[in-house]
Structure 1
Amino acid sequence: MPQIIFLPHDELCPEGKVIDVEAGVTICDAALEHGIEIEHACEKSCACTTCHVIVREGFSSLEDSDELEDDMLDKAWGLEPESRLSCQACVADADLVVEIPRYTINQVSERH
C-alpha cells in the first residue's frame, strides 16, 4: 500500500504526517480523510487552485495532468514543475512526498 508523506505545514499539519492510502484515491481525499484540512473551494471539481500541492517525490508515478488542470495550475501561487491540483492527482503504486504551499489565491475559505 502506498504512502503519502505530507511535509510540515504551519497550519494544516505542523509536524507533517505519513498516511497509508489505497491506489486510485486523490491526494486531496486522502488528506481530508486523515485530518489534513486542505482547501478545496470548488468541491474538488478542478475549477480553482486552492488544493494546489507540490509533489516533491513520486511525481512521475502520477498520471499526466489534463489540459483543464494545466490551465488551472497556471493561476496557482508558487507554481513549480511538480505542481498538481490534489483533487485531480490520484495515487498510483509509489509513495509520494507532498508539500502543501503556504498560500493560495483563495480569498474566501470554506472553513470560515
Structure 2
Amino acid sequence: MKAVNITFKFQDGQPAQTHVAAEGESVLDVALNNDIQLQHNCGGVCGCSTCHVYIVAGEQDLPEISDAEEDFIDRAENPRINSRLGCQCVVQGNADVVVLIPPQHFLGH
C-alpha cells in the first residue's frame, strides 16, 4: 500500500493541512496525531456524532457506512450526503482523502 495523504480543510478559515496516514488509521487518528482539533466525545468508538466531517474526495477507498454510523450522522449538525464520522473513516486503500471539518463547538472551552 502506498502512503495515503489526508488533506484537512476547515470551514472556519484555517489553512488546509495535509498529513500522511498509515493503513488502519482513521481520519480522527490522523487529525489528533497532528494537533488538529476534532471532537470525539465517545473516544472514537462510533458512539456519538461529534467527529462529524464531510468527505470531499477519496470516499471510494473508505469503508462503507454502517447503520450505526448513519444513525449518528442523522444527529449531527448540518448532515450532508458526504457526511461521515472521522472515527469510522479508516484508511484501507490507495486514494488520497480530502476532508472538510465543519465548525466545532467545544463545550466547556
Give the TM-score band, short-chain normalised.
Answer: 0.7 to 0.9
- Contact 2:39–2:104 (CA<8 Å) still a contact in 1? no
SS at match of 1:28: helix
| 1:6 aligned residue | 8
Number of equivalent positions: 106
Name the % identity.
33
CA distances 1:29-61 after superposition (whole Å, capped 9, x unpaired): 110001102110111121111100000001121
SS at match of 1:7: strand
Whichever structure has more strand as a proportion of its residues is 2
In the alignment, residue 8 of structure 1 is paired with which amino acid? F
CA distance in 2, matches of 1:36, 1:71: 25
The alignment yields a C-alpha RMSD, in angstroms, of 1.7
| 2:22 aligned residue | 22
Q: How does 1:33-48 map to 2 (within 5 A)?
A: 33-48=33-48
CA distance in 1, matches of 2:5, 2:17: 10
Q: How does 1:1-112 map to 2 (within 5 A)?
A: 1-10=3-12, 14-92=14-92, 93-103=94-104, 108=107, 112=109
| Structure 1: tracts of 5 or more residues without a match | none
User: Deviation of residue 63 (structure 1)?
Assistant: 1.0
- Contact 1:8–1:17 (CA<8 Å) still a contact in 2? no
**Structure 1 stretches of at least 4 aligned residues deviating more than 2 Å after TM superposition:** 8-11
CA distance in 2, matches of 1:46, 1:78: 18
